[in-house]
Structure 1
Amino acid sequence: MRRITDALGREVALKPRPERIVVMFNYEEFTAIAGTGGWSRVVGMNRVVWEGWRPAIFSRYRDLVPALATLPDVGNTDEGTFSAEKVIGLRPDLLMMPAWAWMAAETIRNQIAAAGIPILVFDYNAQTLERHVASTLAIGAAMGEEARAAELADRYRRNIGTILDRAARAAGPVRPKIHLELGQGGMEVVGNSYSPATMWGRIFAMLGVMNVAEGRLAGNWGPIPAEAVLAANPDFIYIGASSWTNRPRAVRTGYGVTAEETRRSLAPYATRPGWAGLTAIRNGELHAIEHGLCRTLFDDTATLYIAKRAWPAAFEDMDPVAALADYHRRYLPVPFSGTWMLPWRA
């Protein structure tokens, strides 16, 4: 047995080479670290968070990793389908689960641990440099890919450090005001915004911009009143977009999505009651940004996009879309394509 430290600082004892692994989230991070070959040791997964939430992305990986089509499902905590029986029945020698599932399923994970199955917790949702690095190194150690994980962790640490350093130098006495809202339901539906504790809200906090949602949410995410956005008069508005299924009015981004499709789905937001007079709309600073770009090992590209819009001169020599394409080329098996972040006006 050997011991590794996971993202929560827990010491996890596991075999020198786990051969039967259940993975529950952050599949693109797992692939970047372990390669497509790492999937040959996976015996179960939480299917809904990938196949169900973002089938357009899942299908591209399934074409390269055919086993994804038939891997058993261990369920998801949000739907109440995650169970100890499903995990234990697969006879894994390692369960990798995100911190949000760990916190939501105390009884179930205690049952799994009691069955002698080691549990490694990773946490990209916290959206902190420390948790991203710790999660990456832990997955790399578990999969025997320490060098690859160290390279990815160093890349992330270096890129985030550069972005935050330039942002701090460029920032003036007045912080840019940013509103971000999840765009699943279309302009008629007020989507979730995020507190400084997590995901997009944490990115805004790191950059030092003013998050319109700060102090207006009871928890880490949720909708804020429409009148609060009007009163704040943000300088920049971001609509979280993706290739969600069964969401015909959602703002669309992702693989294979053209800029025209994205702008067509984003444009109705500019017509919301009262929005025409907002500084962001008048200045053309309404943006679509792929929601899946937060809580990932390549969310530095989204962070760069937001920083470059706020302080263009400080980031004139840096291209977030090119950086995302380069990440795909170096670390992911799926070719880069489509639209991931752009303003509503060409």
Structure 2
Amino acid sequence: MGDAYPRRIVCLTEEPTEVLYAIGEEHRIVGISGFTVRPPRARKEKPKVSAFTSAKIDQILDLKPDLAIGFSDIQADIARELIRAGVEVWISNHRSVDGILEYIRRLGAMVGAGEKAAALADRARANLDRIAAQAALLPKRPRVYFEEWDDPLITGIRWVGELVRIAGGDDVFPELLEEPLAKQRIVADPLEVVRRAPDIVFGSWCGKRFRPDRVASRQGWADVPAVRDGELHEIKSPIILQPGPAALFDGVEALHAHIAAWARR
């Protein structure tokens, strides 16, 4: 009897690749996103057939996938082309920590590895609980500005703000966390960041290197506590801006390390 689950999966974003490798189902993957960095061996083993807003449709079709997995309405055009070509497509649209945990479980169930995926989700939840317990013991909580892009200024998406809170900080733009699209999280007036006086600035500029010197030199920012105290830190985008396991392990741990160091100084 053959395998009843998808056997030739194209991952249009990073998080399904990471999950499938983590639960031992990487043999099902036949193509990945060019942005994939986790696990490192995926880049060596699998052909890269997509970016985030574009994909090599002909190359994907040559791989004869029985499932393509992507993320968000931003990939709607790619999904439409693949669907028209007869490919089954799953586009997830999760934007929260709980959504990431549910995504891991759902993806595992889709490939017949529900128990392994549930175990991964349980480990992630336990890690979040561990970090939250450590954060609760800190003597103070910093005000945090998370910058996802620098021109224009774009603040963090919902799961990032939730991870900041778990790690022991408070996002200075809580009203923007629920906005799913980057254009809805633009901080039109950079001086609004100044007015909100963050103690820590985290930068994760969607794949390009964060430049603390550029942040510090912005007009009017010299008196921002984070700038004054040198609390300008990069969080690498692969471990925080992808709604997958990395954010729930390496991402939140990186946030907490900086927050704990600030709180204890």
Q: TM-score, normalised by structure 2?
A: 0.73
Shift in CA distance, 138/307, structure 1 to aligned 2, threshold 3 Å: same
Partner of 2:142 in structure 1? 176
2:160 partner letter: W
Q: Secondary structure at the match of 2:7?
A: coil
Instruction: Give the AA of the match of 1:16.
Output: A
- Among the aligned pairs, what percent are the same residue? 20
Cα deviation for residue 228 of structure 1 reads 0.7
* 2:183 maps to 1:223: no
Q: Aligned letter for 2:227?
A: I
**Letter aligned with residue 53 of structure 2:** D
Residue 82 of structure 1, CA deviation: 6.9
Q: Which residues in structure 2 correspond to 1:142-161 (within 5 Å)?
A: 142-161=110-129
Unaligned runs of 5+ in 2: none
Partner of residue 303 from structure 1, selected from 248, 252, 256? 252
Contact 1:167–1:311 at 8 Å: present in 2 too? yes
Aligned residues: 255
- Distance (whole Å) between structure 2 residues aligned to residue 16 and residue 219 of structure 1: 35
Report the Cα distance in structure 2 between the residues aligned to 1:21 and 1:60, rounded to whole angstroms. 18
The CA deviation at 1:287 is: 1.1
In structure 2, the CA distance between the partners of 1:311 and 1:29, relative to structure 1 (3 Å rule), is same
CA drift at 1:227: 0.8
User: Superposition RMSD on alpha carbons, in Å?
Assistant: 3.9
- Alpha-carbon distance in structure 2 between the residues aligned to 1:90 and 1:309: 43
- Please report how far the alpha carbon of residue 34 of structure 1 lies from its aligned counterpart in structure 2 after TM superposition: 2.9
2:238 to 264, 270, 292: 292
Partner of 1:164: helix, strand, or coil? helix
Task: Spell out the pairing of 1:1-346 with structure 2 (5 A cutoff).
Answer: 16-25=4-13, 26=15, 27-34=17-24, 38-39=26-27, 41-47=28-34, 49-50=35-36, 57=37, 60-61=40-41, 64-65=44-45, 68=46, 71=47, 73=49, 75=50, 78-79=53-54, 81=55, 90-100=63-73, 107-108=80-81, 111=84, 115=86, 117-122=87-92, 126-129=95-98, 131-167=99-135, 176-182=142-148, 189-195=151-157, 198-204=158-164, 209-215=169-175, 220-221=181-182, 222-224=185-187, 225-240=189-204, 244=207, 250-251=209-210, 265-294=211-240, 295-300=243-248, 301-311=250-260
TM-aligned CA distance change 1:298 to 1:45, over 3 Å: closer
Query: Does the CA contact (< 8 Å) of 2:69 and 2:89 recur in 1?
Result: yes
Distance 1:62 1:292, change over 3 A: closer
